[in-house]
Structure formats: C-alpha cells, structure tokens
Amino acid sequence: MTTKHGLPVAIIGGGPWGVALALAASRAGSDVTLCTRRDHPEGRRGVKVSPTLDAAEKARLIVLAVPSLVARSVLASVGDHLNGAHLLVHGIRGLDGDDLETMSDVAREETPVRRLGALGGPVQASDLIDGRPSAMVVGSRYPEVLAAVTTAFQSSWLRVYTTPDAEGLEWASALVGCLAIGVGFAQTANAGPGLLAALISRGVDEAARIVTAAGADEHTMYGLGGYGDLLASIAIADRPEVVLGRALAEGKDLRAALGEARLRVEAVALAPRLVAFAKDRKVKAPTFEAVRDVLEGGRPEDVLGRLFAMG
C-alpha cells in the first residue's frame, strides 16, 4: 500500500500524457492537481482537477505535459503563477523552433523558475494509466529536482532513475521519438531482425553524434533515456510513434496514420529539422533522413533499400 507523503504536484495539461502522469503521481502518494480546461471527472482516483493555473502557485513541483507547439505560450501563462521557490520539469519529446531549443531553455526564458528538469525513458502513457510496471528517467543538474520527482512518482510499480544531464535527456527523448517511427515502419515493411538491429544500432550512433553536436553528453543517448527507450519500442505495440510508422508502411497517408496514432507525435514536425541540424553541423544521419522520407511518403522498398545501403 502506498504511503501518502503529500508532496503538492501540479500537472499542466489534460491530454492522455498529463492524465497518465497525474495518476502515477497520485498512486505514489502525491497531492496532485491536474490543471486543464478539458472536462475530467472530479476526484479521478485521487486527482483533483482545476480549470485554472492557480493551483500551480501552491504546488512544490510543476510538471508540464503539453505539446511542444504550445509549450512556450503555456509556460508564459503559468510563469505568472510561479517564483524561484518552485521546481519545474517537463515530459515533452519535442524541441522548439528551427534553433531546436530544449524545453528547459524555453522554460528558463518564459518563467522565473531556475530549478528545472526533464522526464524521459521508456515509460508510456498507457503504462501509467493501467498501472503496469515501468521505468522513468528524470534529468536535472539540481539534486532537489531529482529528489522531488523521485518522491512524486516512484512507487512499487514505477521506478524513477536519475541523471544530471537534463539537456542530453531532452535531446535523446526527441531523437528516440524519430527513430521509433522507423522501428514501426521497418517491422511492418517486413524488415528482418538483422536490418531492424542495424536500424537501431546505427540510429543510436547517429543520435549520439547529434547529441554531441548539440553540446550534450553522448553517453546519455546510450542509457535508459536513449538506447533503452528505443529498445522498448520494439515491444510497445501501442507506442504512438510505432503505430504511426506501421500505418505509413501499410500505405496510409500521414493524416490517416496520425489518426491511428491518436496521441500527438512530436517527431513528425521535428524529423526534418533534425536532418537540417545534422547537415548544418556536418553530422552524417542517414537513418534520420530515412525517417524524414517515410514521413514524406517514401515507398517502403525505397526506404528499406536506403537503410540497407547505409555505410
């Protein structure tokens, strides 16, 4: 039985990911408020719901769980309710704008909070909602952020791992989101185990080089928040990126494939920007180019041929 520690946590964003994080924190004994304008049943398994951001003022830990497209505007709004005493982490797989700013950078620009962090790892919304055992990674240079997230979320069925490399975790999470589309695509396009292994291992190596070019620690890409997260995608049939990749391999157009994925897939808008980033920094990234081609309607046989030819 979970002991109630009562850490006040505000989850910003009432989509499936925000609801999942709220339920996970509630099960771990936190005092959780879900800040959302969406209709949600009050008191859902111990989670309070607020249509305003006022609850953020009273929280110790703020967790941002909105799409990257609206993150800056949401942070600007919630920033009016926060001060330097708050701790803030996000669970967003995207990077902002053509400059590919991390969400921590955006939070630093739009709020007075300075003790920031990021969530990552193989955990999925469906795992948290259903209470299936899983693992999460939190990255922050601030020990108090790592401690607060661990207290807020860790339970007998959710293990929280920590890393001081928040920037590396943010980049790894974004890059893995792109590669997971390739995993789903390759699986459905009848790629054999050898080609799938090549896609994963080479993709991770490319991602590590991109992480390094971004100024973060490549080792984070090889850890649970990078390589481990991608490996899990092989077995997570309902992971949105994998579902999207499978649907594209079946010949569906992007709109229809996104409909099957149901949740927002940050990698759709991100993949071409990552390819441009890599090219600008002279980093070879053929796997990410192949994922971009998949999203632009590339034929399975052509894309798999390119993956086979990767040097």
pLDDT band at 307 (very low <50, low <70, confident <90, very high): low
Contact 9, 26 (CB under 8 A): no
Q: Which residue has the higher pLDDT, 15 or 46?
A: 15
Sorted by where each starts, the structural domains of the chain and their CATH numbers stand as 8-164 (3.40.50.720), 167-308 (1.10.1040.10)
pLDDT band at 45 (very low <50, low <70, confident <90, very high): low
pLDDT band at 309 (very low <50, low <70, confident <90, very high): low
Name residues whose C-beta falls within 8 Å of residue 269's C-beta, 6 or more positions apart in sequence. 69, 94
pLDDT band at 104 (very low <50, low <70, confident <90, very high): very high
Tell which residue, 71, 74, 60, 56, has the closest CA to residue 30: 60
Mean pLDDT of 190-204: 87
Asked if the model's pLDDT at residue 308 lies above 70, the reply is no
pLDDT at res. 6: 85
pLDDT at res. 10: 98
pLDDT at res. 262: 81
Which two structure tokens, joined as six digits, stand for 195? Answer: 């080609």
pLDDT at res. 230: 95
Q: Of the spans 29-43, 189-203, 249-263, which averages the highest pLDDT?
A: 249-263
Average pLDDT, the chain: 92
pLDDT at res. 242: 95
Residue 272: Cβ-neighbour burial (10 angstroms; 0-12, 13-18, 19+) = middle
**Cα(20)–Cα(127) distance, rounded to whole angstroms?**
8
To the nearest whole percent, how much of the chain has pLDDT over 90?
A: 81
H-helix or E-strand spanning residue 87: strand 87-90
Asked if the model's pLDDT at residue 40 lies above 90, the reply is no
Find the range with the poorest average confidence among 112-116, 163-167, 172-176, 249-253. Answer: 249-253
Which two structure tokens, joined as six digits, stand for 239? Answer: 């992971």
**Cα(254)–Cα(261) distance, rounded to whole angstroms?**
10
**Cα(227)–Cα(222) distance, rounded to whole angstroms?**
5
Question: How far is CA 75 from each of CA 34, 46, 72, rounded to the nearest angstrom?
Answer: 15, 25, 5
Tell which residue, 260, 258, 287, has the closest CA to residue 274: 287
pTM score, two decimals? 0.93
Tens digit of each residue's pLDDT (9 = 90 or more) over 216-232: 999 999 999 999 999 99
Tens digit of each residue's pLDDT (9 = 90 or more) over 5-33: 789 999 999 999 999 999 999 999 999 99
Tens digit of each residue's pLDDT (9 = 90 or more) over 256-303: 999 999 888 999 999 999 999 999 999 999 999 999 999 998 877 777
Mean pLDDT of 28-51: 83
pLDDT band at 311 (very low <50, low <70, confident <90, very high): very low
Q: Give the distance between the most distant pair of CA atoms in the chain.
A: 56
**Cα(220)–Cα(223) distance, rounded to whole angstroms?**
5
